[in-house]
Amino acid sequence: MDKLIDLGKYIEQGINVLEESLSGLWGAIDDVISWTVEFLNDTFLAIPFVVIIALVTFGAYYANAGKLAFKKEGLKKGAGLALFVVLGLLLIWAMGYWKEAIQTTTLVIVATIIALLFGIPLGIWAARSNTANAIIRPILDLMQTMPAFVYLIPAIFFFSVGNTPGVIATVIFSLPPAVRLTSLGIRNVPEDVIEAGHAFGATDKQILFKIQLPLAKTTILAGINQVILLALSMVVIASMVGAKGLGAIVYQGIQQNDIAKGFESGLGIVVLAIILDRITQAVAKK
């Protein structure tokens, strides 16, 4: 059957125009992201793995125990997660995937930071403007329902292969929760609290930074948690466009039909996901 509307052709033409007219911008973005990822990789890999395990373990323990961290009560609250962190990271190191785990973590950190830099301001805008919310919501629906593999096509077109297209695809995939939950948290702030702020002469900026954002903090942190987990879930797909890390090992296992390699690297991703999830959840509860 002949096409009545060749929508894909128009999208392709639009992407071609963007690639040609903004080639300098794409090159600059590629340089910045590639340099950042490589710099963080080199920095983390230069630190002895024992030191990193100790720091992450203490961070997990402190996030769970809070103010009780240096008391007996805190030991009971934080010991379980701290023990899991130690055993999980030692397992990754013992399986020989420490370098790949660092590369995956770096990819997640960079993608999460970029997603939050765009997502939280967009969420604030959507919460404070019904018009902006009406425009942003269908775009977020499209981003969340579009198959993740589709994001790889323009990412490769603009940035070739490597870490940059993997980061860009991961940002697009993980951005919606940051926008939605930031907007939701601000909209759920009680109206009488905002009215009280206005009554005391607070400006719109003061209302936002001293009332709405502090009261929406728990919901925003839940959004950050979701962004991190979605970014981590993209590492295997991102490896198809040259992103390094555990996802690349999983992809190799699939290509080579190597069950051992696929299982071990997949287990490493699960360990990282649980650690990041539990730490961010503990921070949100505090």
Tell me whether residue 252 is in a domain.
yes
User: In which domain, by residue range, is 250 found?
Assistant: 97-285
Tell me which residue has tokens 């983390």. Answer: 44
CA–CA–CA angle 122, 233, 121 (5° rounding):
10
Tell me whether residue 29 is in a domain.
no
Cα separation values, 203 from 186, 196, 255, Å: 16, 12, 59
Q: What is the DSSP letter of 67?
A: G
Tens of pLDDT, residue by residue, the chain (286 residues): 566 677 677 777 777 777 777 777 788 888 898 899 999 999 999 999 999 999 999 888 888 776 655 666 656 667 788 889 999 999 999 999 999 999 999 999 999 999 999 999 999 999 988 999 999 999 998 888 888 777 777 777 777 777 888 888 889 889 999 999 999 999 998 888 888 888 888 888 888 888 888 899 989 999 999 999 899 888 878 888 878 888 888 888 888 888 888 899 899 999 999 999 888 888 877 6
Query: CATH code at 184?
Result: 1.10.3720.10
Cα separation values, 72 from 77, 79, 82, Å: 9, 11, 15
Tell me which residue has tokens 């993980």. Answer: 174
Tell me whether residue 194 is in a domain.
yes
Tell me whether residue 130 is in a domain.
yes
Tell me whether residue 36 is in a domain.
no
Does this model's pTM top 0.85? My answer is yes
Tell me whether residue 278 is in a domain.
yes
Distance CA 276, CA 71 (A): 24
Q: How many Cα atoms within 13 Å fall on the side-chain side of residue 2? A: 1
Nearest Cα to Cα of residue 38 among 225, 171, 167? 167
**Overall number of domains in the chain:** 1
For the chain, how long is the longest CA-to-CA vector? Answer: 73
Tell me whether residue 152 is in a domain.
yes
Tell me whether residue 19 is in a domain.
no
